[in-house]
Amino acid sequence: MKTYKALEKQFRRISAVNGALAMLGWDQSTMMPEGGARARSEQIATLSVLRHEWITDARLGDQLNEAATQTDKLDDWQRANLREMQRQWRHATALTPKLVEARSKATMACEMVWRKARRDDDFKAFARAFLPVLELTREVAAAKSAAFGLGAYDALLDEYEPGGRSASIDKLFADLGSFLPDFIDRALVKQGKRPAPLPLPGPFPTEAQREVGLKLMKALGFDFNRGRLDVSLHPFTGGIPDDVRITTRYSEDDFTKALMGVLHETGHALYELGLPKVWRDQPVGEARGMVLHESQSLLVEMQVCRGAEFLKFAAPLLRKAFKGGGEAWSEANLLRIYARVKPDLIRVDADEVTYPAHVMLRYRLEQAMLHDHLPLDDLPYAWNDGMQTLLGVDVPSYAQGCMQDIHWAVGSIGYFPTYTLGALSAAQLFAAAKTQDGGILPGIAKGDFKPLLRWLRANVHAKGARLTTDELLREATGKPLSTAAFKAHLKARYLS
């Protein structure tokens, strides 16, 4: 018990450094003037190196081994906490400091090149900077693969989604892959028979957009005593569980994207805000992984806020906020706007029906790149071919094609599938929630999100990282993750 308690103390220090890093990152994206960039990257690098030193400390390894022999005195949460500590230690010690540093330098350099190359649509420049990142990512995968006894791709995936395995993903994606092409066609035919959405006339002052966003966040249960809403170029959820910082980006021509972005990040934030308070600053008190995190943002955005019940509640608020009236501002028209299917080029702008195609393509290509089955020069052809096959769209530029996302540039191979696993989980969780509590849907229509939040708190948020994603989904929904609920949701929303 003494060893375990010493470990808790050390991980509390690590958590404080993580929290400081989270705040420095948030500030960098929201508040920092450009001139602060050099010093900020020094601060972040210094604290990141320090964290890595602390977490790979040999004494910590000894303590972890010792504590592992004395688990009979620990309760379930403590045992799970120890397991999560071991997990973090394993991931950190799998890599030599030299590899960590080389990767960090290569990805920072590549990110900068990517920003410029995307602007200039210059694939050659990107590929030159990305090749070393790819090679170092292969080294990381090899090192972790050897340390964990996993395949190379799974060893990377495990960082974002603990316990995530490509064998399961392959099955789920095969299922989706045989369902979606036909479904997209049917949804488009159905959509074509309905009137097109009427445009909403702007401009929409930023302040009014912010006000209505705050109002809806509050209604959903966001605690402003423990968080904020700000502006950044790319929306994200940052901070720590007692100080969650979400961001959005306003356009005065169109409020619909920024607003749905706020609601999406609110889903992430509610997860953080609902993590178990007694396990603050410990690994087991953190969110489980990217699949469940994405499930929470997509549950709020896709399952709830783009649905009829929510729009029934929100439509009058939106009309009031933006002084709108008439048919264009009706619930029915808002629903048509918010459930529009359109096969297109850009993943982050995609609707929920076509989104999985974007992910499946990336999943296939990043595996091929990792295993050296796809020469980097051939990436654009493979990409464009995939987009044509999956969504029937012609890719007119690298910037709107294989260079659109930041993930690969910063070495995040193994991240993309978590988006679609999150979407499947969101559908499965929301279906179970509605079945288990008949008050959830009527509540949403009235703007009362307490029943929904209560269910999410009890079944997802308050679990922290105690269970694996699979265990949590089985406990909450009675089933392992499948495509059934997602497909049923799509059919109900787009074919009926």
100 binds a copy of itself (CB under 8 A): no
Choice between 44 and 382, CB closer to a copy of itself: 44
Residue 424 class from Cβ within 10 Å (0-12 exposed, 13-18 middle, 19+ buried)?
Answer: buried
Choice between 16 and 492, CB closer to a copy of itself: 16
Q: Which of 6, 20, 74, 102 binds a copy of itself (CB under 8 A)?
A: 20
d(C-alpha 230, C-alpha 245), whole Å: 7
Region of 114 (left: φ > 0; alpha: ψ -120 to 50; beta: rest) is alpha
Those residues with Cβ within 8 angstroms of residue 400's Cβ, 6 or more apart along the chain or in another chain: 345, 346
Choice between 273 and 409, CB closer to a copy of itself: 273
Comparing CA positions, the residue from 25, 31, 22 lying closest to residue 231 is 31
12 binds a copy of itself (CB under 8 A): yes
Choice between 75 and 207, CB closer to a copy of itself: 207
Q: Which of 43, 206, 256, 400 binds a copy of itself (CB under 8 A)?
A: 43
Size of the site for a copy of itself (CB under 8 A): 37
Question: Are 197 and 337 in contact, with CB atoms under 8 Å apart?
Answer: yes
Q: Which residues pair with 230 in a beta bridge?
A: 247
227: helix, strand or coil = strand
Choice between 280 and 474, CB closer to a copy of itself: 280
| Shortest spacing between CB 54 and a copy of itself, in angstroms | 10
Which one from 265, 272, 286, 352 is the annotated catalytic residue?
265
Choice between 24 and 102, CB closer to a copy of itself: 24
Which amino acid type is present at position 135? E
d(C-alpha 80, C-alpha 241), whole Å: 19
| Shortest spacing between CB 102 and a copy of itself, in angstroms | 20
* DSSP code, position 323: T
Which residues between 199 and 258 bind a copy of itself (CB under 8 A)? 223-228, 239-240, 242-243
356: helix, strand or coil = helix
Strands 237-240 and 243-248: what pairing? Answer: antiparallel
Whether residue 265 lies in the annotated active site: yes
Which residues between 271 and 300 bind a copy of itself (CB under 8 A)? 280-281
Q: Which of 1, 2, 9, 36 binds a copy of itself (CB under 8 A)?
A: 36
69 binds a copy of itself (CB under 8 A): no
Question: Are 352 and 484 in contact, with CB atoms under 8 Å apart?
Answer: no
Binding range to a copy of itself, per CB under 8 A, among 33-41, 194-202, 448-456, 482-490: 33-41
Q: Which helix (H) or strand (E) holds 228?
A: strand 227-231
d(C-alpha 26, C-alpha 190), whole Å: 43
| Shortest spacing between CB 237 and a copy of itself, in angstroms | 15
Question: Are 130 and 376 in contact, with CB atoms under 8 Å apart?
Answer: yes
| Shortest spacing between CB 229 and a copy of itself, in angstroms | 11
182 binds a copy of itself (CB under 8 A): no
d(C-alpha 60, C-alpha 7), whole Å: 7
Q: Which of 1, 5, 9, 42 binds a copy of itself (CB under 8 A)?
A: 42
Q: Which of 6, 47, 328, 406 binds a copy of itself (CB under 8 A)?
A: 47
Convert 238-275 into a string of H (helix), E (strand) and C (coil): EEECCEEEEEECCECCECHHHHHHHHHHHHHHHHHHCC
| Shortest spacing between CB 9 and a copy of itself, in angstroms | 11
| Shortest spacing between CB 242 and a copy of itself, in angstroms | 5
Region of 405 (left: φ > 0; alpha: ψ -120 to 50; beta: rest) is beta
Q: Residue 243: phi, psi to the nearest 5?
A: -160, 75
50 binds a copy of itself (CB under 8 A): yes
13 binds a copy of itself (CB under 8 A): yes
| Shortest spacing between CB 88 and a copy of itself, in angstroms | 17
Comparing CA positions, the residue from 138, 31, 489 lying closest to residue 303 is 489
Residue that has been written with the tokens 């703007």 in this structure: 447
Angle between helices 152-160 and 166-193 (to 10 degrees): 70
Q: Which of 1, 2, 39, 96 binds a copy of itself (CB under 8 A)?
A: 39
Comparing CA positions, the residue from 358, 361, 305, 298 lying closest to residue 331 is 305
Residue that has been written with the tokens 């993943």 in this structure: 347
Binding range to a copy of itself, per CB under 8 A, among 37-45, 191-199, 341-349, 440-448: 37-45
Choice between 43 and 468, CB closer to a copy of itself: 43
| Shortest spacing between CB 446 and a copy of itself, in angstroms | 28
Binding range to a copy of itself, per CB under 8 A, among 16-24, 391-399, 404-412, 471-479: 16-24
Strands 243-248 and 227-231: what pairing? Answer: parallel
Choice between 153 and 250, CB closer to a copy of itself: 250
61 binds a copy of itself (CB under 8 A): no
| Shortest spacing between CB 133 and a copy of itself, in angstroms | 25
Choice between 17 and 393, CB closer to a copy of itself: 17
Active site amino acids: 265
Q: Which residues bind a copy of itself (CB under 8 A)?
A: 12-13, 15-17, 19-20, 23-24, 27, 31-36, 38-40, 42-43, 45-47, 50, 223-228, 239-240, 242-243, 280-281
